[in-house]
Amino acid sequence: MLKPSITIPVINRSAFPLPAYATVGSSGLDVRANIDQPITLQSLERTLVPTGLFVEIPLGYEIQVRPRSGLAVKQGLTCLNTPGTIDADYRGEIKVILINLSQEPQIIQPGDRIAQLVLQAIELIEWKPVDQLNETDRGSGGFGHTGKQ
């Protein structure tokens, strides 16, 4: 098993364990719903679900909030604004925007694993204004430019 390469200070104000990797090869840590009562989401309804977690991310990193594939395929629940970004200077509670894309009401129970958190190094951009860009075979072809094959 890989050993952690970075330490992130965390406050856990939930009744649930800290996010954890589900398997040895997982890149995301499963995060849980910190709610007292079940939440029922109707079809196409969205809600903001608290996690009870507060983190101090080092400069040069972000934490991305991503959907859990099992939740999406089995219940039609997924995250909006995906991937969500938690910036290094944010100190508020981590919350997850969930939406029900199924045709039936879906219930989120206290402690359900609702999303995954992935630590990501970031690169800062320095813009270089130019008058012309290098040409490519694609050129300015946009969405669907390469066709359906």
Tens of pLDDT, residues 87-137: 999 999 999 999 999 999 999 999 999 999 999 999 999 999 999 999 988
Backbone angles phi, psi at 125, to 5 degrees: -95, 135
> How high is the mean pLDDT of the chain?
93
Q: What is the DSSP string of 82-147?
A: SSEEE-TT--S--EEEEEE-SSS-EEEPTT-EEEEEEEEE---------S-----SSTT--TTTT-
Residues of the chain with pLDDT > 70, as a percent, come to 94
Q: Give the chain's domains with CATH numbers.
A: 10-121 (2.70.40.10)
| Cis status of the peptide bond prior to 129, with omega within 30 of 0 | no
pLDDT for 42:
98
Residue whose token pair is 């965390």: 10
